[in-house]
Structure 1
Amino acid sequence: MNKPITYIAVILWVALIFYFSHQPASESNELSTAITEVIVTAVEKVAPHSDFLVGNINHFVRKNAHFFIYLVLGVLVIRSLHLSGVDRYKAGILALFICILYAISDELHQLVVPGRGAQMRDVLIDSAGAFVGIGIYVAILFRTRVDG
């Protein structure tokens, strides 16, 4: 993947995050509830006697979505920086800094979205996701350089 494509991927992913964050609370909850229902249905097929209530795990699904979406952002940002010639460790620190700043700006953006608000806990979850994504990328990069 060449540099311009990696930057485009970052921009598109950031736009997707912005799109989700710009949804009013009611729309956002409808989306996460629909996803939660799909998960509950799948789990009930595997374990038919489970008693999962959508409302009980919807919060869990929402917070995991934060983690996952920023894990991907972390990978995309460090990949872009690395392909631009930034040393992998400096790229990791810079990528984490960029992801944390975006997580903060994303939460601040939600202050103007109907029914939404800024949550420090979400910034921490987002940052943890970015950190894990960046860590996975660095580990894979290190592993391929050692083996290759």
Structure 2
Amino acid sequence: MRWALAWMAVIFALSAWPDLVITQIAEYFEKPHHFLIDVHKIQWGLILSPSNPFFDIPTVFTEDYWLHKAGHCLVYAILGLLTYRWTRRVLPSIMVCIGYAFFDELHQALTHGRSSRLTDVLIDTIVAFLFIRLAHAARNPDRTRT
């Protein structure tokens, strides 16, 4: 359990990174930042409106977009494996990953310079599910259907 919780803390720290543009990572370290949520900078009107980026389909033609999605796949593949190692059951592992994916996107919505998207929750859920099923098949080869 502690490995899964530790990995969730890593995901939380990565989500708290304000204004994250992966292709400009070197420039990020040249500016001072703080990682606490500043309630006064939260755009509550945007979070609660239907024009929230959470419901938008993003542009897929940028390098940064693909690097962000690869990062989501990597961290939720690991989270899926760690939660399965913790619970040893498929359904509870998937439920933990889905719940944390929603929590992570809510956290990003409250982080200055970040946005949350429903597509990220879907990607996180699918990747976690696939890796949980792979771990289950590896652990129980006789109980898995072919």
Instruction: Specify the alignment match of 2:74 in structure 1.
Output: 68
Deviation at 1:125, TM superposition (A): 0.7
Q: Which runs of 4+ in 1 moved over 4 A?
A: none
Instruction: Specify the alignment match of 2:51 in structure 1.
Output: none
| Kept after mapping to 1: 8 A contact 2:23/2:63 | no
Instruction: Specify the alignment match of 1:33 in structure 2.
Output: 23
Tell me how far apart the structure 2 counterparts of residues 144 and 80 of structure 1 sit (CA, whole Å): 21
Letter in 2 for 1:134: I
Tell me how far apart the structure 2 counterparts of residues 64 and 144 of structure 1 sit (CA, whole Å): 32
Instruction: Specify the alignment match of 1:12 in structure 2.
Output: 6
Structure 1-normalised TM-score?
Answer: 0.67
List alignment gaps of at least 5 residues for structure 2.
26-60
Structure number with larger C-alpha Rg: 1
Deviation at 1:11, TM superposition (A): 1.2
Tell me how far apart the structure 2 counterparts of residues 71 and 124 of structure 1 sit (CA, whole Å): 13
Deviation at 1:109, TM superposition (A): 0.9
Identical aligned pairs, as a percentage? 33
Tell me how far apart the structure 2 counterparts of residues 118 and 142 of structure 1 sit (CA, whole Å): 36
From the two aligned structures, give the one with the greater helix fraction: 1
Structure 2 residue corresponding to 1:134, chosen from 116, 125, 132:
132
Structure 2-normalised TM-score?
Answer: 0.68
Tell me how far apart the structure 1 counterparts of residues 103 and 9 of structure 2 sit (CA, whole Å): 13
Q: Deviations over 1:10-42 (max 9, x none)?
A: 1110000000001102xx21xx2268xxxxxxx
Letter in 2 for 1:102: Y
CA-atom RMSD, angstroms? 2.1
Query: Does 1:99 pair with 2:97?
Result: yes
Tell me how far apart the structure 1 counterparts of residues 138 and 10 of structure 2 sit (CA, whole Å): 26
Tell me how far apart the structure 2 counterparts of residues 128 and 108 of structure 1 sit (CA, whole Å): 18
Deviation at 1:144, TM superposition (A): 7.7
